[in-house]
Amino acid sequence: DSGVTQTPKHLITATGQRVTLRCSPRSGDLSVYWYQQSLDQGLQFLIQYYNGEERAKGNILERFSAQQFPDLHSELNLSSLELGDSALYFCASTPGGSQRDTQYFGPGTRLTVL
């Protein structure tokens, strides 16, 4: 158990809908990273937050957004869902913003868009 929690484990929804994925980092960790794992694209970095502020952006679609709250949990919002958004979404956390920190991953949320 990495100490990172993600809810829900599974999510099934229809095209055009909006969903919210939640991540709670390890106790004391300030940085949260979101990744998408799909068969087509592999593991791709989406976005990073550090202590409530956006730090880095990857190949995140405009239909996707994220935020980190004062209690340091993070939410990834996916809207106008398409079939191609079906994937496993991971979050990872680190104590700070240092590159020395190792990222520990949550169990992931499997999103299925029908």
Partner 1 sequence: AQTVTQSQPEMSVQEAETVTLSCTYDTSESDYYLFWYKQPPSRQMILVIRQEAYKQQNATENRFSVNFQKAAKSFSLKISDSQLGDAAMYFCAYRSAFRGSTLGRLYFGRGTQLTVWP
- Report the nearest approach of partner 1 to the CB of residue 19 (Å): 18
- Report the nearest approach of partner 1 to the CB of residue 105 (Å): 4
Q: Which of 13, 55, 67, 95 binds partner 1 (CB under 8 A)?
A: 55
Contacts of 61 (CB under 8 A, 6+ apart): none
Contacts of 71 (CB under 8 A, 6+ apart): none
Among the listed ranges 17-25, 54-62, 63-71, 74-82, the one in contact with partner 1 (CB under 8 A) is 54-62
Question: Is residue 8 reached through a cis peptide bond, with omega within 30 degrees of 0 on the bond before it?
Answer: yes
Question: Amino acid identity, residue 51?
Answer: N
Tokens, residue 6 = 């993600």
Residues that bind partner 1 (CB under 8 A): 2, 31, 33, 35, 42-45, 48, 55-58, 88, 90, 92, 94, 97, 99-105, 107-108, 110
